[in-house]
Amino acid sequence: MPPPVGTILISEIIGTMFLILLGDGVVAGVLLNKTKGQNSGWIVITWAWAMAVFVGVFTSAALGGNAHLNPAVTIGLATAGNPTVPWGSVPYYIVGEFIGAFIGAFLVWLHYFPHWEVTEDKGLKLAVFCTAPAIRNTAWNLISEIIGTFALMYGVFMVGATADKITGALAVGLIVLVIGLGLGGTTGYAINPARDLGPRIMHAILPIAGKGGSDWGYSWIPVVGPIIGAVLAAFLYMAL
């Protein structure tokens, strides 16, 4: 049985809030001018994102939720017929995930408030909130997001079959780490529609000093690609 609707919403909001606060927070610390972590690099970003996933997942689980934090994961589990994720509960998970992403992105903006004005590069400011491809090619960018999320989703299935909540949270964090290191160099490994679209929306509406556009032409790829990848992983999981 799924958790109660209230538990789903609260646990997904809080868990995803911490995911984005810490994940987008490290990107801000690396990219924005005059931070103590400026230019500390890709390894710092990938490690901190992995730990952000760990914190978000165990926080959400501690609140009684299933700790998806990701619409693609929610849809993948529902596709596989997971009894805790009937299709009727999917909208509640997704609403909670997006609300949490909005709040987390807002907190990152507040936390780094003086650093937006002293950062001239509009692209770096956008990169704090959402992903962009290293080489812009629609088909291959989509394939990258499909493959990355396929790896994540299949890993989630395996973790769910073998681990308890805390070790499971750490295992998922480590899966995200290796995806970032092994596959993230092409598109920045969004692998999560809420992680990318939620903060991108906040970038568009927040009064960020000196910001540019929100790259809406690319924005559908980190949404559609992860959903396709998660569904393909669900099919493989059911087949095996």
**Segment 73-99, tens digit of pLDDT:** 999 999 999 999 999 999 999 999 999
**150 near 230, Cβ under 8 Å?**
yes
How far, in whole angstroms, is CA 104 from its chain's centroid? Answer: 11
**Residue % of the chain over a pLDDT of 70:** 100
Between 2 and 52, whose confidence is greater?
52
Two structure tokens written together for 55: 């914190």
Which residues make Cβ contacts (< 8 Å) with residue 110, sequence separation at least 6?
none
pLDDT digits (tens, 9 = 90+) for 87-145: 999 999 999 999 999 999 999 999 999 999 999 999 999 999 999 999 999 999 999 99
Average pLDDT across the chain, whole number: 97
Domains of the chain: 5-239 (1.20.1080.10)
Beta strands, E only, the chain: none
pLDDT given at position 16: 98
Q: Which residues touch 79 (CB under 8 Å, ≥6 apart)? A: 230, 231, 234, 235
